[in-house]
Structure 1
Amino acid sequence: MSSPVLAQLDYCASRFIAKRRSTREVMVGNIGIGGHHPIRVQSMTTTNTQDVDATVKQTLALAEAGCEIVRITAPNKKAAEALGEISKKLRAAKCEVPLVADIHFLPSAAMEAAKHVEKVRINPGNYADKKKFAVQEYSDSAYEEELERLHEAFSPIVLRCKELGRAMRIGTNHGSLSDRIMNRYGDSPLGMVESALEFIRIAESHDYQDICLSLKASNPKVMIEAYRLAVARMKQEGMDYPLHLGVTEAGDGEDARVKSAIGIGTLLNDGLGDTIRVSLTEDPIYEVPVARDLAHKAMTLWNAQADSQLGEPLKDSIDPFDFRRRETRTIELGPDCSIGGESLPAVIVKTAHPVGETAAIIQDVCIVQTKFKDSKIEGLQVEIQTAVDLEPFRGLHEALHSVVKAFVLELGVGIDLSELEAYEWPDGLAGIILLQSVSREDSFYAQSLLQFCRGKGFNLALDCSAEALREEIGPRLQAMGSANLILSTAGCSKRPQADTRQSNDHSIAACGGSAHPLGQYRALAEATRDTIADAPIWIRNTTGNTLAPKNYYADRLLEASVISGGLLCDGIGDLISVETEPMLDKATALAYNILQGAKARISKTEFVACPSCGRTLFDLQSVTQKIRARTDHLKGVTIAIMGCIVNGPGEMADADFGYVGGAPGKINLYVGKECVKYNVASAEALDRLIDLIKEHGKWVEPS
Structure 2
Amino acid sequence: MDYFNYSRRKSSVVNIGNIPLGGENPIRIQSMGNVSTMDTDAAVRQAIRMIEAGAEYVRFTAQGEREARNLGEIRRALNMEGYTTPLVADIHFNPKAADVAAEEVEKVRINPGNYVDKVKTFSHLEYTDEEYAAELQKIRDRFVPFLDICKKHKTAIRIGVNHGSLSDRIMSRYGDTPEGMVASCMEFLRICREENFPDVVISIKASNTVVMVKTVRLLVRTMEKEGMSFPLHLGVTEAGDGEDGRIKSAVGIGALLSDGIGDTIRVSLSEDPEAEIPVARKLVDYILERENHVPIMASLAPGYDPVTADRRISRVVEGIGGGFPPVVISDRSNGDFEFDYSFLPDYLYIGKEDPDNLPDNFCLLVDAHFWKERPNAFPYFIASEAEELESCQAPLKFIRITNNDLNDRLLEILKKDKTVVVVLSTHNQNGVGSERAAMHKLLSAGCDVPVILHRDYQETDVEALQLKSAADFGTLLLDGFGDGVMLHNEGTVALVTDRCMFGILQAARVRISKTEYISCPSCGRTLYDLQTTIARIKEATFHLKGLKIGIMGCIVNGPGEMADADYGYVGAGRGQINLYKGKKCVLKNIPEEDAVERLVQLIKENGDWSN
| TM-score bracket, shorter-length normalisation | over 0.9
User: 1:516 aligns to what?
Assistant: 430
Q: Tell me which structure has the larger Cα radius of gyration.
A: 1
The 3 A distance-change label for structure 1 pair 244 and 394 is: closer
Superposed displacement of residue 270, structure 1: 0.5
- CA distance in 2 between partners of 1:584 and 1:290 (Å): 23
Q: Any idea what SS the aligned residue of 1:282 has?
A: coil
1:120·1:168 contact (CA, 8 Å) conserved in 2? yes
User: 2:347 aligns to what?
Assistant: 379
> How many matched pairs?
609
TM (normalized to structure 2)? 0.96
1:301-700, aligned counterparts within 5 Å? Answer: 301=290, 303-305=291-293, 313-315=299-301, 317-332=303-318, 338-351=319-332, 353=334, 361=335, 364-365=336-337, 367-368=338-339, 371-373=340-342, 375-384=343-352, 392-396=353-357, 399-402=358-361, 404-405=362-363, 407-410=364-367, 420=369, 426-429=372-375, 431-436=377-382, 438=383, 442=384, 445-447=385-387, 449-453=388-392, 455-465=393-403, 467-478=404-415, 481-491=416-426, 493=427, 514-531=428-445, 533-543=447-457, 549-580=458-489, 582-700=492-610
Among all aligned residue pairs of Structure 1 and Structure 2, give the percentage whose two residues are the same amino acid: 43
1:143 aligned to which of 132, 156, 162: 132
User: 1:212 aligns to what?
Assistant: 201
1:430·1:457 contact (CA, 8 Å) conserved in 2? no
User: 2:105 aligns to what?
Assistant: 117
1:300 aligned to which of 279, 289, 293: 289
Superposed displacement of residue 676, structure 1: 0.9
2:212·2:236 contact (CA, 8 Å) conserved in 1? yes
Superposed displacement of residue 133, structure 1: 2.2
- CA distance in 2 between partners of 1:260 and 1:316 (Å): 31
Letter in 2 for 1:630: A
- CA distance in 2 between partners of 1:35 and 1:16 (Å): 21
Superposed displacement of residue 451, structure 1: 1.3
- CA distance in 2 between partners of 1:352 and 1:426 (Å): 16
Letter in 1 for 2:284: A
User: 1:242 aligns to what?
Assistant: 231
Give per-residue Cα distances to partners, 1:99-153, cap 9 Å, x unaligned.
0000111111111111110000010001011222221221111111110011111
1:252·1:280 contact (CA, 8 Å) conserved in 2? yes
1:181 aligned to which of 170, 183, 188: 170
- CA distance in 2 between partners of 1:217 and 1:289 (Å): 22
2:18 aligned to which of 30, 40, 43: 30
Identify the range of structure 1 (213-222 vs 579-588) with the bigger mean alpha-carbon deviation. Answer: 579-588
The 3 A distance-change label for structure 1 pair 486 and 312 is: closer
Superposed displacement of residue 323, structure 1: 4.6
- CA distance in 2 between partners of 1:142 and 1:529 (Å): 46
- CA distance in 1 between partners of 2:35 and 2:598 (Å): 28
1:49·1:82 contact (CA, 8 Å) conserved in 2? yes
Identify the range of structure 1 (52-61 vs 573-582) with the bigger mean alpha-carbon deviation. Answer: 573-582
Letter in 2 for 1:263: G
1:104 to 2:92 alignment? yes
Letter in 1 for 2:341: F
Superposed displacement of residue 550, structure 1: 4.1
The 3 A distance-change label for structure 1 pair 108 and 327 is: same
Give per-residue Cα distances to partners, 1:225-272, cap 9 Å, x unaligned.
111010000001100000000000001000000000000000000010
- CA distance in 1 between partners of 2:395 and 2:238 (Å): 47
User: 1:506 aligns to what?
Assistant: none
- CA distance in 1 between partners of 2:417 and 2:167 (Å): 49
- CA distance in 1 between partners of 2:395 and 2:423 (Å): 20
Superposed displacement of residue 352, structure 1: 5.1
Superposed displacement of residue 558, structure 1: 0.9
TM (normalized to structure 1)? 0.84
1:43-58, aligned counterparts within 5 Å? Answer: 43-58=31-46
Give per-residue Cα distances to partners, 1:261-313, cap 9 Å, x unaligned.
00000000001000000000001111000100111122232x324xx657774
1:482·1:534 contact (CA, 8 Å) conserved in 2? no
Letter in 2 for 1:50: M
User: 1:41 aligns to what?
Assistant: 29
Superposed displacement of residue 316, structure 1: 5.5
- CA distance in 2 between partners of 1:310 and 1:572 (Å): 18
Superposed displacement of residue 530, structure 1: 4.0
1:488·1:521 contact (CA, 8 Å) conserved in 2? no
1:610·1:643 contact (CA, 8 Å) conserved in 2? yes
Superposed displacement of residue 487, structure 1: 1.8
The 3 A distance-change label for structure 1 pair 231 and 379 is: same
Letter in 1 for 2:576: K
Superposed displacement of residue 435, structure 1: 3.4
Superposed displacement of residue 395, structure 1: 2.9
- CA distance in 2 between partners of 1:28 and 1:154 (Å): 20
- CA distance in 2 between partners of 1:231 and 1:426 (Å): 52
User: 2:242 aligns to what?
Assistant: 253
The runs of 5 or more residues in structure 2 that have no matched partner are: none
Letter in 2 for 1:372: Y
The 3 A distance-change label for structure 1 pair 58 and 459 is: same
Identify the range of structure 1 (647-656 vs 143-152) with the bigger mean alpha-carbon deviation. Answer: 647-656
- CA distance in 2 between partners of 1:281 and 1:435 (Å): 44
Give per-residue Cα distances to partners, 1:600-659, cap 9 Å, x unaligned.
111111000000000000010000000000000000100000000112511112200000
The 3 A distance-change label for structure 1 pair 225 and 394 is: closer
Superposed displacement of residue 320, structure 1: 1.8
Letter in 1 for 2:365: V
Q: Any idea what SS the aligned residue of 1:567 has?
A: helix
Give per-residue Cα distances to partners, 1:45-65, cap 9 Å, x unaligned.
010000000000000010001
Letter in 1 for 2:329: I
Q: Any idea what SS the aligned residue of 1:204 has?
A: helix
- CA distance in 2 between partners of 1:271 and 1:535 (Å): 29
2:29·2:281 contact (CA, 8 Å) conserved in 1? yes
Q: Any idea what SS the aligned residue of 1:542 has?
A: strand
Give the root-mean-square deviation of aligned CA atoms: 1.8
Give per-residue Cα distances to partners, 1:524-583, cap 9 Å, x unaligned.
12111344621111111214xxxxx54321111111101111111121111211201541
